[in-house]
Amino acid sequence: MSSRTTFILLLLLVIFSTLVVTQGMGRRDPNDIVIWTQDFVPGRELLLQQLELYMEQHPKLKVSLIYYETEELRNNFIIAALGGSGPDLIYGPSDQVGPFEVMQIIRPMEDLFTPEELACFQSDALVWWKGHLYQIGDRIGNHLTLVYNKDLVPVPPKTTDELIVLGQKLTKDFNQDGLIDQYALAWNFVEPYFFVPFLGGYGGWVMDEQALTAGNPLPTLDTPATIKACQFILDLRNKYRIIPRECDYD
């Protein structure tokens, strides 16, 4: 396997930036490679270990890894890339490919690999868009699930009605100061990705699947299902008070 392919394998989900490659690289040593990642600590530690091994094998290269939260990385990358700077590579979810491609701030990758090299990857891990390869993934799926504390919840709720009843029992103000000390349910409100299960629960979906299959993506968010899902989340916060008023990964 070539060193180029090995490096891509180590970099996991990789997106190449057009403006960074053509402009940003000219402002620093071409042997200095900067990667932005939104992965959590275990993944970052693994990537750092692999990068250390890679630099041992290629002592002329220096690879720096910088962490940003998902939304922060996306926004910072857009600003930096449009200004002609930013990272050489980024690690992130595949749903960023569309917006980045529209703004022409990422570089197609298919000319960097031979068909034999690409065949080493599972086809679902190769993110193609409008006939071009923009991403190679280290993982496939990223499913959303309800994770519960078995010490507090021996039997998980099967319906949203059960969730609300259980949530009201688990949400507590321990010191009676009028402030909630323990919420029953929490997730990252800032990331719209976590809205999808609620939308699906009301029979809605993010994209029109027939249009998507035909290569003409059409959002389907202006629907009664979206309104009902949004109202349900607001009720969890304002009516039933079983989730925080604000919440992110921190």
What is the domain-level CATH number for residue 12?
A: 3.40.190.10
DSSP labels for 173-240? -TT-SSS-SB-S----TT-GGGGHHHHHHTT--SB-HHHHHTT---B--SSHHHHHHHHHHHIIIIIS
pTM (two decimals): 0.61
Average pLDDT, the chain: 87
Same domain for 131 and 7: yes
Q: Is 145 helix (H, G, I), strand (E, B) or coil?
A: coil
Whether residue 169 is contained in a domain is answered as: yes
Residues 10 and 118 in one domain: yes
Q: Tell me, yes or no, whether 43 and 95 share the same domain.
A: yes
Is 29 within a domain?
A: yes
Predicted confidence at residue 4, as pLDDT, reads 43
**Same domain? 110 vs 211:** no
Same domain, 129 and 217: no
- Residue 60, domain extent: 3-136
Please answer whether residues 160 and 187 qualify as being in contact, where contact means their C-beta atoms are separated by less than 8 angstroms: no
Neighbours of 164 (CB within 10 A): 19
Token code pair at residue 55: 């630099």
Which of 136, 152, 183 terminates a domain? The answer is 136
Write down the pLDDT at residue 37: 95
Q: How many domains does the chain have?
A: 2
- Same domain flag for 205 and 114: no
Element holding 95 (H helix, E strand): none
Indicate whether 109 belongs to any domain.
yes
- Same structural domain for residues 64 and 107? yes
In a domain, 60, yes or no: yes
Q: Is 213 part of a structural domain of the chain?
A: yes
As a residue count, the chain comes to 250
Question: In this structure, are 118 and 228 located in the same domain?
Answer: no
Mark whether 16 and 126 lie in a shared domain: yes
- Same domain (yes/no): 43, 75: yes
- Considering the domain architecture, whether residues 73 and 127 belong to the same structural domain is answered as yes
Q: Give the type of residue at 209.
A: E
Q: Which of 136, 171, 201 is the last residue of a domain?
A: 136
Give the pLDDT of the chain (250 residues) as one tens digit per residue.
444 433 343 443 343 333 333 234 446 788 999 999 999 999 999 999 999 999 999 999 999 999 999 889 999 999 999 998 999 999 988 889 989 999 999 999 999 999 999 999 999 899 998 899 999 988 887 788 899 999 999 999 999 999 999 999 999 999 999 999 999 999 998 888 899 999 999 999 998 888 777 777 788 989 999 999 999 999 999 999 999 999 987 7
pLDDT tens by residue, 193-227? 899 999 999 999 998 888 777 777 788 989 999 99
Is residue 129 domain-resident? yes
d(CA 134, CA 147): 32
